[in-house]
Amino acid sequence: NAGVTQTPKFQVLKTGQSMTLQCAQDMNHNSMYWYRQDPGMGLRLIYYSASEGTTDKGEVPNGYNVSRLNKREFSLRLESAAPSQTSVYFCASSEVGGANQPQHFGDGTRLSIL
Amino acid sequence: GESVGLHLPTLSVQEGDNSIINCAYSNSASDYFIWYKQESGKGPQFIIDIRSNMDKRQGQRVTVLLNKTVKHLSLQIAATQPGDSAVYFCAENRGNFNKFYFGSGTKLNVKP
């Protein structure tokens, strides 16, 4: 089982460029999430999708947009990348929305913005 | 939920010893907690969880203790092994649909 798959694994962008980070899960989970992790810090929630067709802001949504393409896929877009968005981005999924369910994570996309 | 600093606290233990990793949380409304393990270059991996109506929960070689009075969570790892070397995070859910707040983590270093 692949679990949560993120692409690409690494990316370098120039300030002002745009990019979409892809995430797909094969566990038939309803809920999906995007986090960022900065050095020495915990994960911070950017956006989440409780179910197919819905998305909501997390702690740090500014500068990002998301699309829940279908039940399996949840993408994160940087429209105009800034150096402050250099980070490791993690996608996660969980089985049901609204209940206490642990989240399953991908291995991250390491993004550097010059 | 802001994290602190660039340098993670580190716990160094000898192989075979027991490890205790601590986490303080800030919100008394938090009702669900998870411990995650994160190895270098990987995403967080679920270890064990506990709901606020419990004080203790045991898994395989791991125990989580919850003290709601002082808002403190701990992870105990028995007979620590080199493969346990990683960063460990606690995460709390404050009753708002699956919005978890993560601590900044503790690095566990197991010496052979």
Q: Quote the pLDDT of residue A42.
A: 85
Answer yes or no: do A59 and B1 touch at CB < 8 A. yes
A93: buried, middle or exposed (CB in 10 Å: 19+, 13-18, 0-12)? buried
The sheet with strand B72-77 has its strands ordered as: B19-24, B72-77, B62-67, B56-58
Mean pLDDT of the residues in chain A: 92
Grade residue B26 by pLDDT with cuts at 50, 70 and 90: confident
Q: Please report residues of A whose CB lies closer than 8 A to that of B91.
A: 42-43
Question: In the predicted model, what is the mean pLDDT of residues B92-96?
Answer: 80
Phi, psi of A81 (to 5 degrees): -65, 140
Question: Chain A neighbours among B 3-42 (CB < 8 Å)?
Answer: 3, 5-8, 31-32, 34, 36, 41-42
Residue among A31, A38, A100 whose CB faces B51 most closely? A100
What are the tokens at B28?
């008394």
Answer yes or no: do A100 and B46 touch at CB < 8 A. no
Answer yes or no: do B101 and A4 touch at CB < 8 A. no
Residue B82 per-residue DSSP state: G
Grade residue B13 by pLDDT with cuts at 50, 70 and 90: very high
**Gyration radius from chain B CA atoms:** 14
Residue among A40, A44, A108 whose CB faces B6 most closely? A40
**DSSP strand pairing (B56-58 vs B62-67):** antiparallel
Q: Quote the pLDDT of residue A97.
A: 55
Specify the range with the lowest mean pLDDT, choosing from A84-88, B15-19, B99-103. B99-103
**Which residues 6+ apart lie within 8 Å of A53 measured at CB?**
A68
Q: Please report residues of A whose CB lies closer than 8 A to that of B94.
A: none
| pLDDT single digits (tens) A14-56 | 999 999 999 999 999 999 999 999 987 789 999 999 889 899 9
Q: Which amino acid, residue A24?
A: A
B77: buried, middle or exposed (CB in 10 Å: 19+, 13-18, 0-12)? buried
Q: State the best of B98, B102, B104 to mutate against chain A, taking most chain A CBs within 10 Å.
A: B98
The sheet with strand A19-25 has its strands ordered as: A4-7, A19-25, A74-78, A64-68
Percent of chain B at pLDDT exceeding 70: 91
What are the tokens at A65?
């947009």
Distance from CA of B37 to the nearest CA of A (A): 11
What's the CA dihedral at A98, A99, A101, A107 to 10 degrees?
Answer: 0
B6 pLDDT more than 60: no
Question: In the predicted model, what is the mean pLDDT of residues B58-67?
Answer: 96
Specify the range with the lowest mean pLDDT, choosing from A16-30, A51-65, B7-21, B89-103. B89-103
Residue B98 per-residue DSSP state: T
Answer yes or no: do A100 and B104 touch at CB < 8 A. no
Answer yes or no: do B32 and A100 touch at CB < 8 A. yes
Q: Quote the pLDDT of residue A22.
A: 97
Q: How far apart are CA B94 and CA A45, in angstroms?
A: 14
Answer yes or no: do A107 and B100 touch at CB < 8 A. no
